[in-house]
Amino acid sequence: MRNEVACDNAAARRSAAPEAPLREVLARYWGYEDFLPLQREAMASVLAGRDSLVVLPTGGGKSLCFQAPALLMDGTAVVVSPLISLMKDQVDALAANGVPAGCLHSAQAPEEHHEVVARARRGELKLLYAAPERLVMPSFLEFLAAARVAFFAIDEAHCISHWGHDFRPEYRALRLLKERFPRAGVHAYTATATPRVRDDIVSELALRDPSVLVGTFDRPNLLYRVRPRERGAARFAQLEEALARHRGRSGIVYCITRKEVESVCAALAKRGFRVRPYHAGLDDDVRHRNQDAFSNDEIDIIVATVAFGMGIDKPDVRFVIHTGLPKSLECYQQESGRAGRDGLEAECTVFYGGGDYATWLLILGDGDGESARTQRRKLADMYAYATGVACRHRLLSEYFGQTLAGDDCGACDACLGEIVLMEDALVTGQKILCCVVRLQERFGAQYTAAVLTGAREAKIAANGHDRLSTHGLLKEHEEKQVRLWIDQLVSQGCLEKDEEWGTLKVTPLGWRVIRGQAAPRLIAPPAAAAPKAKRAAAALRSWDGVDRELFESLRALRLSLAKARDIPPYMVFGDATLRELARLKPETPEDFLAIHGIGERKNAEYGAIFRAHLTAWRAERRPAENPPA
């Protein structure tokens, strides 16, 4: 029924799109020479008036899929956006590129609101952003009926689905758009959607014969690491070590609770990090100031709960660290995806502990409806990812129904050799599985680990389990370590955990391990020799030919220009553009305009300033580089 297209589908690439006008728009307003995967096909659907669902990873250029075609069509494109900050950032970025756009939201002053409405009525805006709640108001629908709507674009479309990770009831009412505006195309965009969520989006929006374009979920520029979280003082030292790799760069540290946000933020500030907190318990004004400080490079690190993120368009985030387990792989894909939006290398690290699972269960509640069960399953999938020992990029891709080519991604702890595996994993696995059998598959992971390490707890003695042959079989290891091995056996399918009670059961694969017909992969204890890790390939490539001293000089110039204009630095130029300037060192206006990310508007506003800076930089170094004979 639907035309679902992957990014390597040759037929899709040959779809009829007015390529020359689109390329002209991309070059003129954004300084881009070519399309990213599936962008041309998505733009073709918009221009043809055909409904569409577009799933592209964060940084994959979703916004351009509706922004560029809007400039080639009569009327105004209406964009549904869930957050005020997201609307404002996109409108500001469009204005910086010379695109007429506006937004309507509850935080606007009356005069600003009236001005946007007047411009829309006069047909001066190519894009108009509004929240889903506003879209379904009778007065706003009447306003749109009198205006000339080119099409509707629904951003963060996963919010429509009950099966998604961020369901918002107000999004479900958007199906009336097809009823009230049957001739206008409706286009949905998201970065994270499993096949079930994609089907739900199409159904709830009542899309008609939509083109469903699904790009790869893999982000090869992201380096994924997962580490068991240390305890006590070592816990903060573990975090500080990860931050030290990115000193002076922008990054996000996610915590599960508000209390942890405050404590981590205070500890980092005491150690000299430029940092501020963000969570729902702060006043709106404080949250906005802290978010602006992060966007404007006044601070390097934002420490936040998951309340922070959607609507953050900052492309130069170089790291995302989770101090606890995310609540689902969809959430992790979104949250980690805020790193490296500019396509340059970035690091994503998760520190997790067994208690995180229980914390999230407490937050999610103990409901027994389908939605509650779905959330618990998603949490279990996230825990399996954290305790897994396979390629992180492959695990994420497979979760979203895709495969990853090759045996070595070169950008995760597993493929970089940072995970040391046990040499005798088969024997250890057999001991654990046999203990589950001896316990008649009636107990959970914590209890099983206690029995294996020889604990003398009253409950164990009362059950007679201190007399089992498996009692104390792994007494040379800490209970925490044995619990991790149990989790790894669960993630590899050797054990399954009852969703309601948490009891363990040996699977058919587990029985094969017991019989010695299959072997699990278990991570060696911390005392094992440190791994000889390889360097991530993406990090090596992205700096090829870049003069780092010049790059830092250009960053300083960018910051001064941004402060003078009261805009975030990335709205001047992104890091990818600065690296290319520091790599190619263009001398002529034509060469400068050919740099990725420099369009006509930005060339007119900043070109002379940056060219003068490059000329001065070359002049300062020429005597040293070419000494007289």
pLDDT computed for residue 442 by the predictor: 93
When pLDDT is cut at 50, 70 and 90, the band that residue 33 belongs to is confident
DSSP-assigned beta bridge partners for residue 497: 504
In a domain, 526, yes or no: no
pLDDT computed for residue 517 by the predictor: 93
Tell me the percentage of the chain whose pLDDT exceeds 90.
55
Q: What is the CATH number of the domain that holds 509?
A: 1.10.10.10
Query: What's the CA gap between 53 and 178, in Å, rounded?
Result: 14
Residue 184: which domain range? Answer: 3-214
In a domain, 536, yes or no: no
The token pair that represents 407 in the structure block: 């045996």
User: In this structure, are 312 and 430 located in the same domain?
Assistant: no
Q: Could you say which DSSP state residue 28 is in?
A: I
User: What mean pLDDT, rounded, does the chain reach?
Assistant: 87
Neighbours of 597 (CB within 10 A): 18
Angle at which helices 600-625 and 548-565 pack, to 10 degrees?
A: 140
In a domain, 433, yes or no: yes
User: In this structure, are 49 and 152 located in the same domain?
Assistant: yes
Query: What's the CA gap between 225 and 239, in Å, rounded?
Result: 13
Is the predicted pLDDT of residue 5 greater than 80, yes or no?
no
User: In this structure, are 272 and 208 located in the same domain?
Assistant: no
Give the best-scoring range by mean pLDDT among 278-287, 519-528, 533-542.
Answer: 278-287
When pLDDT is cut at 50, 70 and 90, the band that residue 596 belongs to is confident
Range of lowest pLDDT (17-21, 329-333, 535-539, 605-609): 535-539
The token pair that represents 387 in the structure block: 């305790």
Query: What's the CA gap between 423 and 406, in Å, rounded?
Result: 25
When pLDDT is cut at 50, 70 and 90, the band that residue 374 belongs to is confident
In a domain, 418, yes or no: no
Q: What is the CATH number of the domain that holds 587?
A: 1.10.150.80
In a domain, 375, yes or no: yes
User: In this structure, are 454 and 566 located in the same domain?
Assistant: no
Domain final position from 214, 247, 263 = 214
Query: What's the CA gap between 350 and 596, in Å, rounded?
Result: 33
Taking only the tens place, the pLDDT of each residue in 171-204 is 888 989 999 999 999 999 998 888 888 999 999 9
In a domain, 537, yes or no: no
User: In this structure, are 309 and 170 located in the same domain?
Assistant: no
In a domain, 134, yes or no: yes
The token pair that represents 179 in the structure block: 């009823």
Task: Find all residues with CB under 8 Å of 196, minimum gap 6, and list them.
Answer: 161, 163
Is the predicted pLDDT of residue 12 greater than 50, yes or no?
no
Pairing of strands 3-6, 211-214: parallel
Task: Find all residues with CB under 8 Å of 616, minimum gap 6, and list them.
Answer: none
User: In this structure, are 330 and 436 located in the same domain?
Assistant: no
User: In this structure, are 459 and 573 located in the same domain?
Assistant: no
Domain final position from 164, 198, 214 = 214
Query: Higher pLDDT residue, 98 or 532?
Result: 98
User: In this structure, are 78 and 203 located in the same domain?
Assistant: yes
Number of domains in the chain: 4
Taking only the tens place, the pLDDT of each residue in 475-507 is 999 998 899 899 899 988 899 988 778 899 999
In a domain, 618, yes or no: yes
User: In this structure, are 315 and 264 located in the same domain?
Assistant: yes
User: In this structure, are 374 and 440 located in the same domain?
Assistant: no
Residue given tokens 């278990």 in the structure block:
522
Query: What's the CA gap between 497 and 444, in Å, rounded?
Result: 8
User: In this structure, are 303 and 429 located in the same domain?
Assistant: no
User: In this structure, are 244 and 387 located in the same domain?
Assistant: yes
pTM as predicted: 0.79
Q: What is the CATH number of the domain that holds 339?
A: 3.40.50.300
